[in-house]
Each structure stands twice: as structure tokens, then as C-alpha cells.
């Protein structure tokens, strides 16, 4: 069963008038899948708390901007850390450059439209590819 790699800020975590919070509708969607989920971020220690990443329902992975998610080494390090192969995971991410880089290391990746918060399209992609 594939592991779902979840983009953190601007996807699973969104900025509201109360600060950064989990996007509850996305969590409800993801929780309908029994697959393991890992949240991917580049946050440093300060951002980790600011974004509420210390209170996530899934494991969180960060390399603290060294390198960023737009560097293939980020994904190679992450896969090695969790003892996963690229074929074992699928990823959704709002940053198009990060999507392309993840694809370049063999990870099936989907560009999530964070402006539309398009969960219908995300669900379609997960249903068709998990």
C-alpha cells in the first residue's frame, strides 16, 4: 500500500484569521484512505511551531531548508530516512517546481491547486492512482 506524502503549508496547513490551522476538509478526505501519510515541509524550528507542525496527526518530515523541496536531495533523503522507494509513495504539493523535482526522482506527484483548494480534483487523483 502506497504512502501518501502530504504538502504542509498552503495545503494541509492553511493560514486563517486565527493563525495556521489544519485544513479540516483535507484531513477528512485523507482520513478516508487507510494509507500511511507523511507530511513534508521545509520548516525550521521556529516555523515548525508557528505552523503548528508539532500538533499534526501524521508524521512530519523536514530538512529545515537544507535543502529545500525544490532540490532532488530533499526527496532522496526523505525516502532513505523512511526506508521507502519512489514507487512506494505518491505526493501532492502546491509548489509546481517542487512537483517537477519530485517527479524527477521518480515520485508520482500531483500539483494541488491551493488557490481553489480543489479537493475534488485531489480526491480524483488519489482514487485513480493509489
Partner 1 sequence: MKTALIIHGAYGNPNENWIPWLKTELEKFDYEVAVPAFPTPENQNLESWLDVASPYLEKLNDESVLIGHSIGAVFLLSVLEKLNAPVKTTIFASGFLNDLGNDDFDKINRIFYEKDFDWQRIKQNSQNVFVFHGDNDPYVPLSESENLAKNLGTNVKVIGNGGHLNKSAGFDKFSELLEVIT
Interacting residue with partner 1 among 14, 22, 119, 121 (CB under 8 A): 121
Using an 8 Å Cβ cutoff, are 2 and 16 in contact? no
Strands (E), the chain: 3-7, 13-16, 19-22, 37-41, 59-62, 89-93, 108-111
Residue 41 near partner 1 by CB under 8 A:
no
Residue 70 falls in which region: left (phi positive, over 0), alpha (psi -120 to 50) or beta: alpha
Residue 67, preceding peptide bond in cis (omega within 30° of 0): yes
Instruction: Kindly tell me which of 52 and 86 has the beta carbon lying closer to partner 1.
Output: 86
Strands 3-7 and 89-93 turn out to be parallel
Q: From residue 70 to residue 109, what is the string marking binding to partner 1 with x (rule CB under 8 A)?
A: ------------------------x-xx-xx--xx---xx
Interacting residue with partner 1 among 2, 36, 65, 111 (CB under 8 A): 111
Instruction: Kindly tell me which of 17 and 128 has the beta carbon lying closer to partner 1.
Output: 128
Report the interface residues with partner 1, using CB under 8 A. 94, 96-97, 99-100, 103-104, 108-111, 113, 115-116, 121, 124-125, 128-129
Amino acid at each position: 500500500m502506497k504512502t501518501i506524502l502530504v504538502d504542509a503549508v498552503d495545503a494541509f496547513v492553511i493560514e486563517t484569521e486565527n493563525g495556521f490551522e489544519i485544513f479540516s476538509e483535507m484531513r477528512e478526505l485523507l482520513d478516508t484512505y487507510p494509507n500511511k501519510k507523511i507530511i513534508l515541509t521545509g520548516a525550521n524550528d521556529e516555523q515548525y511551531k508557528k505552523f503548528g507542525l508539532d500538533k499534526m496527526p501524521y508524521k512530519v518530515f523536514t530538512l529545515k531548508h537544507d535543502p529545500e523541496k525544490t532540490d532532488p536531495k530533499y526527496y532522496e533523503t526523505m525516502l532513505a530516512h523512511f526506508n521507502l522507494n519512489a514507487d512506494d509513495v505518491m505526493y501532492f504539493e502546491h509548489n509546481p517546481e517542487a512537483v517537477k523535482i519530485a517527479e524527477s526522482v521518480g515520485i508520482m506527484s500531483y500539483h494541488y491547486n491551493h488557490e481553489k483548494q480543489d479537493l475534488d480534483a485531489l480526491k480524483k487523483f488519489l482514487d485513480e492512482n493509489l
